[in-house]
Structure formats: C-alpha cells, structure tokens
Amino acid sequence: MTLKKLLLMGCLGGALAFTACDKDDDDPIVKEELNQTDRTFLQNAAQGNLAEIKTGQLASTQGSSDSVKMFGQMLVTNHQSAQNSLDSIATAQNVDLPDSADANGMAMYNALQGLSGASFDSAFIRMQMVAHDSAISMYQTYASAGSFSSLKSYANRILPTLQQQAAYVDSLAARMPQ
C-alpha cells in the first residue's frame, strides 16, 4: 500500500470516528410544559391585568383628582404591557387566556362605575390597595415557587412594577381627606 493510500485511509477513519463520537445524545432538548400551578398563575395574572386595565380606564376618565386620573392611566399602560407579555407566553404554549376580568375584577369595576367625585377617588384607592397587595403576594409566590421559566421571568420582571404601583397608591391614600 502506498503512503498516500495509508494517509487517506487514516484520515477517513479518523473522520468517521470523530463523526460517530460527535452525537448530541448527552445534550437532549428538554421542552418545558405548563403544569396546573403554571396555568393557574397564567390565568389569574391575565384576569388581574384585564381588571386593572378596565378600572384604570375608568379612573383616568372618572377620577376627580389629577393624581387619581394619572394613576389610572399608569395602570392602563403598565398592565397592557404586562398583558402583552403574557399573551406571548400563552401563544407559545398554545394556551387561551381569558378575555375579561374575573368576577372580583368586574365587581370592582361595577362598584366604581356608579361613583363620582371624591367618593370615586376614595373607593378606587381603597380597592387598588387591596388589589395590589393580593397581586404582589401572588407574583412573589409564583416567582419563588413556579416551575415554568418564561413565566417565572415574567413574574420577576412585573413584580417591581406592582410594588411601585402599591407604593404610589399608598401615597395617594395618605393624602386622602379622612
């Protein structure tokens, strides 16, 4: 056998051995799937966003003080952005999200709808304090114990905004006439 043939066979053998050893068996693709806790958080977060958008729109037009109107608009902007992020996650997972607030969100909206002036502002602020405390608790729980990575990332990203909104509504409550 000539030296050329020997080198060629050696190169071919090495290439075959390298290719055979280069299988990605040790790096399987793991596809995350939503469990019931993930789905519940996804649904509840969506309904919360929708309630905040709806009541925020109401506050931005029916609030009697500029600070309540401004806070209402902030809710609309922030929660629409949060909802858009949730929509992306849900779409990627082939999950249908609710298209309206839950019974509590609708009850809050209906109660506010019949109010005006200082009564509206006072009720809106009280309801927002309760809603944000509840939302913060839900987001903190999911952020620390949830299992779906993109949803955990969402919860961790939105949580500071919820906390800022809670601090702002607390400051509004402190300025309210007693």
Q: Is the per-residue pLDDT at 105 higher than 60?
A: yes
Q: Tokens at residue 28, please?
A: 């399987």
Q: CB within 8 A of 23, min separation 6: which ones?
A: none
Q: Decide if pLDDT at 178 tops 90.
A: no
Q: Which position has the token pair 């019949």?
A: 114
pLDDT tens column, 17-58: 544 444 454 545 557 889 999 999 999 999 999 999 999 999
Q: How many whole angstroms separate alpha carbon 109 and alpha carbon 64?
A: 16
Percent pLDDT > 90 in the chain is 80
Among residues 43, 68, 44, which one has the least CA distance to residue 137? 44
Which domains, and CATH codes, for the chain?
Answer: 59-178 (1.20.1260.10)
Can you give the pTM of this predicted structure?
A: 0.81
Helix 36-62 to helix 103-113 angle, to the nearest 10 degrees? 10
Alpha helix (H) residue ranges in 34-148: 36-62, 66-92, 103-113, 117-145
3-state secondary structure of 63: coil
